[in-house]
Amino acid sequence: MKFSENIQNIVFQYVSDIVTGQEQEAYVIGGFVRDLILGRGSKDVDIVVEGSGIKLARDVAHRIDPKIRVSYFKSYGTAMFRYKDTEYEFVGARKESYNHDSRNPIVEDGTVKDDQLRRDFTINALALSLHQDNYGELIDPFNGYSDLKRGIIRTPRDPKVTFSDDPLRMLRAIRFATQLNFHIDEEAFDAIVSNVERLKIISKERINEELHKIILAPEPSVGFKLLAKSGILSYVFPELSAMQGVEKREGMAHKDNFFHSLKVLDNLARLTDDLWLRWAALLHDIGKPRTKRFVEEHGWTFHGHEYKGAKMIPGIFKRMKLPLNQKMKYVQKMVSLHMRPIILVEDEVTDSAVRRLLFEAGDEIDDLMTLCEADITSKNHEKVQRYLHNYQIVRKKLLEVEQKDRVRNFQPPITGEMIMQAFDIGPSRIIGDIKQAIKNAILDGEISNNFDDAWAFMEGFAAENNLKFVRSKNDITLIQGQAKSEDDR
């Protein structure tokens, strides 16, 4: 089979000229060839040469444009350059052997066949010749083309050896199965099951990279079901694994929270590509196993699971080495607030409840609503429509209240600094109490969100609590005005 038409760019042409002139063999290999046959675009190209990859990269780059910067990784014998937003990586064909404690192989020079044999899956071991004599010819010693057409993930060598050598490949298998909607060959899957413990030599960062790719796939549930079935999930993510299963008492069963979470994640995947919102969908009910209760004559409850779940997030992120920054805070916020919008559906709901949610969710309110909409997993179409309609009502209420009161990015009209100056007291509990009281009065709609109203409210608070003003409202506005103009300078 020939794919010469598909590899007509200038980089491939120069590689071809150079290696043909030097009577060498070079091939474009791996993910690029796989994606080309699948009709998916890809922005990284691997070229393998029976000879020095570094020298070939340098020669090719020089012919295209001497100004192109080539980066080298001497110890790996690879070189790379960027041309027209594609990355070209060059490497000498090699043979690999492994020792037990590391996924980094011992390498020696080899033929292209050796190089294909060291690759993880047959679909990733396809090569197209760049030599003029058979330009574009598919070199496929392991029937990868047929696996690609049938949607099968299979290893060129004994899968037990492949996965034990480099256990990251087990996650790659599941990741490709998810991204491409492929089936993992049975023998390969069994080998994954028996090698789960080998994952201990893989860094958490690498594991996360694959988890992120699974989560970003069009139907992430495919991957998580495979992770669960293979035993990998309970090894890398026990809290998620603990969500599996249903329990029945007095004829009452609760739903399987693992499958429910996956359904929510799939639903959300249709609405957004945001990685962290997808993480939030996966984790929104993570607190359920630890809050599960059976209440006689009532059934199963998971009271407070959203708060429990939010509390669990830092521990999970820390252990898994996920980021502990605002990404984590964001996921926590989504988890803790996911039960809130539904309460706002009721006709009698007050503006105050709407304002509170707006204030707490801030700029993430739209993401929260998207998560809630994805959280509707009923099989009853009529019910789904009714729930979606309810959330439309909530969105409308949110919009109306926000337009009226602007609490989404609430800044208190009276700052702690102003309070300290007004009463001449240092930082203390009472300052927080006053701020909190003003905030509540605004969110409850007792007063409007402006300085004058807040000051009047504070006067009342001071009288009730025997606090004495040492500065007047005018003084404070003057001091603030001065401070502000100094800031502006």
Summarize as ranges the residues that interact with ligand ATP (CB under 6 A).
Answer: 30-31, 44, 46, 119-120, 124, 166, 168-169
Which of 31, 77, 231, 299 contacts Mg ion by CB under 5 A?
31
In the list ligand ATP, Mg ion, none, the entry touching 140 (Cβ below 5 to 8 angstroms by class) is none
DSSP SS3 for 137 = strand
201, 214 contact by CB (below 8 A): no
In the list ligand ATP, Mg ion, none, the entry touching 120 (Cβ below 5 to 8 angstroms by class) is ligand ATP
Closest separation in Å from C-beta 124 to ligand ATP: 3
Comparing CB distances to ligand ATP, the nearer of 46 and 306 is 46
Cβ neighbour number for residue 80 with a 10 Å cutoff = 21
Q: What single DSSP character describes residue 159?
A: H
In the list Mg ion, ligand ATP, none, the entry touching 119 (Cβ below 5 to 8 angstroms by class) is ligand ATP
Comparing CB distances to ligand ATP, the nearer of 17 and 209 is 209
In the list ligand ATP, Mg ion, none, the entry touching 78 (Cβ below 5 to 8 angstroms by class) is none
In the list ligand ATP, Mg ion, none, the entry touching 405 (Cβ below 5 to 8 angstroms by class) is none
> In the structure, how many helices (H) and strands (E) does the chain have?
25, 15
Residue list 42-61, contact with Mg ion (CB under 5 A): 44
How far is the C-alpha of 42 from the C-alpha of 452, rounded, in Å? Answer: 59
Both tokens of residue 248? 């029945």
Closest separation in Å from C-beta 85 to ligand ATP: 15
DSSP SS3 for 456 = helix
Comparing CB distances to Mg ion, the nearer of 44 and 114 is 44
In the list ligand ATP, Mg ion, none, the entry touching 254 (Cβ below 5 to 8 angstroms by class) is none
- Find the helix packing angle between 186-195 and 221-230, rounded to 10°: 60
Comparing CB distances to ligand ATP, the nearer of 169 and 263 is 169
Residue with tokens 């898994």, as numbered in its chain:
320
Contacting residues for 43 by C-beta, under 8 A, at least 6 apart? 85, 86, 87
How far is the C-alpha of 178 from the C-alpha of 221, rounded, in Å? Answer: 8
Comparing CB distances to ligand ATP, the nearer of 175 and 278 is 175
> Residue type for 183, please?
H
Comparing CB distances to ligand ATP, the nearer of 184 and 361 is 184
Distances (CA, A) of 462 to 297, 424, 434: 50, 13, 9
In the list Mg ion, ligand ATP, none, the entry touching 230 (Cβ below 5 to 8 angstroms by class) is none
Q: If we measure between CA atoms, which residue out of 341, 292, 282 comes closest to residue 313?
A: 282
Closest separation in Å from C-beta 31 to ligand ATP: 2
Comparing CB distances to ligand ATP, the nearer of 189 and 317 is 189
Give the interface with Mg ion as residue ranges (CB under 5 A). 31, 44
